[in-house]
Chains A and B, each alone.
Chain A
């Protein structure tokens, strides 16, 4: 992993990422705004630190990332644009338009995207395959995947978890975007995932919990610890805020994939800008 740059600057950048994701959603006429906003710092920190750049994106030694909660592709596009894999202007012009390759879920014909996703509960198992290949080939690369907390209801997640523990995939790190919401409401009310940490631990995982998954310093130090951990794969359970960036949409299940009106858009954009200011002045 690479060393992280200036945390304060990056924390402000996370709000630029949010603004760009918001603009992508508005340009395409739809998107998963709530989960886009909760994952911004996680994706930004990962791409700042993973051993992969536009120049090395085809290297067999690169670190890999799979966005298992593929519906939150707009923030991924924003981060990949920020990191130079794709061009924001092009994403804005094409997202969800007729004939476009910039669709509403990750697609691996686009630069920087490893794997197609969108059907929940695949990313962890695919990442297990990537990590297993790394072990077979004695490569040093690491594999990361981000899952939603609602997604944990898929049985396949736990098949993947068992395999990762069984094969001692310490080159694998899964992150749970624990924003406590899914489409129909609160995750505990829809279908409780139970003790997420205990379930991973039971399959031989190293379990890390961070109290603020929208805090880049916390994310980064958890990633450090994951990298140091031998034998066990690591899961980082990150407490995040769905819709983070604007009080209008924060912690509201109804904003899972609602399209803002022009008026709401302006409000959200202004709130995001205010957050950024606060970070810079903090």
Chain B
């Protein structure tokens, strides 16, 4: 794999740039600065860095208090903890109170591999999306991660961003990053099937379209990094005329991208929607790529599923 830069490292870069221009930009960690790649932020801007110790609920509430006083806080902690341990703080102190807190879930999905379900976040999309006034973003690669963070620095509302732990293959390239905030990015046009993915499975979706070409199946691919607000318009326009919609996500089968896509499609342009996701069970022990392969969520698995259904 060519790319060695993790999305979290890009987050640190963007936040350092922002901190140098605006002293109100603050980062909060819960003994997570190493995992978040934010140690260099803490070293460079110690006055704009708050360490709360291993206390994720406190992390989020403190961030809300800072926001209420005009600070621009980014609360960064593993996705598993920030989305479950601090759930009520996210709901009440951030979203409900309409605070400008950016909640960043690092090492999201199954990035922590063999550490097991305590460390996996396969429920964060569902949990966070169910909160009114919460937005949910899962950028697909390092280039898009930069775009999302730069946009979030411009607004003043709560948002949750999930990023993974390890470097992921590029979907986009330097100078070629089509991006409009809250609009899905069309990665491929196609006539038979539409594959909608988010986060680190967008690359697999893109690659599966190539594999499908060899089987004479024409696949469109949509990068739905903005899971909430879901880009319904973009979805419906890409879905037009397709026989099948496939969704792919590093999440439980319930309440995630697949559920939301199915809701929009069934209400507006009913057709078959099939969701590829993690199971409703503790995920098999393994590295991310092994896990994806096991559950048929890699490029080969997606292509196989499409061919099976359309075949």
**A residues bordering B, Cβ < 8 Å?**
28, 30, 70, 96-101, 103-105, 107, 116-121, 150-151, 153-155, 182-184, 190-191
Q: CB distance B284 to A98 under 8 Å?
A: yes
Q: CB distance B285 to A153 under 8 Å?
A: no
Task: State whether the Cβ of B307 lies closer than 8 Å to any Cβ in chain A.
Answer: no
Q: CB distance A184 to B33 under 8 Å?
A: yes
* Shortest CB distance A150–B (Å): 5
Task: State whether the Cβ of B54 lies closer than 8 Å to any Cβ in chain A.
Answer: yes
Instruction: Add 10 more A-B contacts to A97-B285, A154-B55, A190-B31 (CB < 8 A).
Output: A99-B286, A104-B116, A105-B116, A118-B115, A120-B54, A150-B53, A153-B31, A153-B55, A154-B54, A184-B31
With most chain A CB atoms within 10 A of its CB, the pick from B31, B34, B57, B117 is: B31
* Shortest CB distance B17–A (Å): 23
Q: How far is B29's CA from A70's CA once the two chains are assembled, in angstroms? A: 21
Q: CB distance B115 to A183 under 8 Å?
A: no
* Shortest CB distance A114–B (Å): 15
* Shortest CB distance B131–A (Å): 21
Task: State whether the Cβ of B260 lies closer than 8 Å to any Cβ in chain A.
Answer: no
Partner pick for A100 among B32, B58, B81, B114, CB 8 A cutoff = B114
Q: CB distance A119 to B52 under 8 Å?
A: no
Q: CB distance B290 to A98 under 8 Å?
A: yes
Main secondary structure of the interface of B (DSSP, over half): loop
Task: State whether the Cβ of B119 lies closer than 8 Å to any Cβ in chain A.
Answer: yes
Chain B residues whose CB sits within 8 angstroms of the CB of A119 once the complex forms = 80-81, 85, 118-119
Q: CB distance B115 to A105 under 8 Å?
A: yes
What 10 A-B pairs have minimum CB-CB distances, sorted nearest first?
A191-B53, A118-B118, A153-B53, A96-B114, A103-B116, A98-B286, A104-B115, A119-B118, A153-B54, A153-B55
Q: CB distance B55 to A155 under 8 Å?
A: yes
Q: Which residue of A lies closest to B118 (CB)?
A: A118
Partner pick for B119 among A28, A105, A182, CB 8 A cutoff = A105
Q: How far is B194's CA from A277's CA once the two chains are assembled, in angstroms? A: 66
Q: How far is B282's CA from A107's CA once the two chains are assembled, in angstroms? A: 11
In the assembled complex, 13 residue pairs joining A and B whose CB atoms fall closer than 8 Å, in A order, are A98-B285, A98-B287, A98-B290, A99-B284, A105-B115, A118-B115, A119-B118, A150-B31, A153-B53, A155-B58, A184-B29, A191-B31, A191-B52
Chain B residues whose CB sits within 8 angstroms of the CB of A116 once the complex forms = 116-118
Partner pick for A182 among B54, B57, B113, B114, CB 8 A cutoff = B54
Q: How far is B114's CA from A118's CA once the two chains are assembled, in angstroms? A: 12
Chain A residues whose CB sits within 8 angstroms of the CB of B53 once the complex forms = 150, 153, 182, 190-191
Q: CB distance B51 to A183 under 8 Å?
A: no
Q: How far is B71's CA from A180's CA once the two chains are assembled, in angstroms? A: 32
Interface residues of B in 89-121 (CB under 8 A from A): 113-119
Chain B residues whose CB sits within 8 angstroms of the CB of A154 once the complex forms = 54-55
Q: CB distance A191 to B51 under 8 Å?
A: yes
Q: How far is B115's CA from A30's CA once the two chains are assembled, in angstroms? A: 10
Q: How far is B32's CA from A259's CA once the two chains are assembled, in angstroms? A: 18
Q: How far is B55's CA from A269's CA once the two chains are assembled, in angstroms? A: 35
